[in-house]
Amino acid sequence: MPSHNVHAFIGKRICGFYNVEIDALIDFSKKNSSKDEDVEIVEEIEIPVRCLPGMVIIETDIVSKRSHDAGRTTCKVLFSQTREVLRKYGEQGVCYYILHHYLDKLEDIILGGILHQYSQVKEEESGFDIATRTLMLQLKEAVRTGLDAEVSALKALELIVDKGFRDPFTDYCSLLTYEMKLFREYKSRTRTRKSANLEALWYTCLKTLESQQDWDIAKLIATIARTVREKIVMNAEWVWCTIMKYDYLRLARSNKFGVNLIRHMMKTLNCDNVLKNPPTL
């Protein structure tokens, strides 16, 4: 995930705002606790698992929720943290809070995309060069697809607020149809896992929405998330060039891509020129 300095730099351009307390809220909850203590909630939940004509079968599963980045994995934490950020910093703070989550995911999308492309050309002598160029040529679409298919509480709220999937018995078949399209690019096992995780999040988020205030928060999150995601997509080259320029050593070290490959990506994207034209609010 990007350093907090990079989060702040991009936050100023995308949201017109940044705050280190929001970064800490997401990344450093219970920083000093043990691994076992780091689990905030472990609960048994019911999730719809099979759709047949006129019937939905309900089974149970166990979901654990860790404090680090917990706003991504559970609506309860997402709602509580959003309320806190909204109270202290307003909607710009919520923008930055959501942006932080998306930027953390962005690295996985882009670096994973390069590895996927490389798996198809790795026998060629310049395989990494080919893989990098291929992804960079379609970077915006890769980022759009990757963020749209992210399994998170943000995505679950989008299903509820924007898609109108609000009842496990009447809407579950529609959700399955939507998932088939959303995850169609993934292999069968990955598609099944992603679908099951998204369904669990969707169902627990539905149970979280108990009051009108909860619904208002959900609508605000979905609206701002959609706007932030689109800004990242439209400025994908600038965002990724910024991450590489200021975090290239960390990227090379943590992902084992090597400094030369990071520099090659920057050259392929023409980052020197891209960074001269930052996005406007």
Q: What is the DSSP string of 17-71?
A: ---HHHHHHHH-TTTTS-TTTTEEEEEEEEEEEEEETTEEEEEEEEEEEESTTHH
Sequence-distant (≥ 6) Cβ neighbours of residue 239 within 8 angstroms = 10, 14, 103, 106, 232
pLDDT of amino acid 49: 45
Q: Which range, 134-138, 143-147, 277-281, has the best average confidence (pLDDT)?
A: 143-147
pLDDT of amino acid 128: 76
Which tens digits make up the pLDDT trace of 1-60? Answer: 889 999 999 999 999 999 999 999 998 754 433 343 333 333 444 444 444 444 444 444
Distance CA 279, CA 88 (A): 26
Phi and psi at residue 64, to the nearest 5°? -105, 145
pTM score: 0.85
Residues 14 and 102: beta-carbon distance below 8 Å: no
| Res. 268 pLDDT band, cuts 50 70 90 | confident
pLDDT of amino acid 67: 52
Percent of all residues in the chain with a pLDDT value above 90, rounded to a whole number = 59
| Res. 203 pLDDT band, cuts 50 70 90 | very high
Radius of gyration from C-alpha coordinates of the chain: 20
Which tens digits make up the pLDDT trace of 151-191? Answer: 999 999 999 999 999 998 899 999 999 999 999 988 899 99
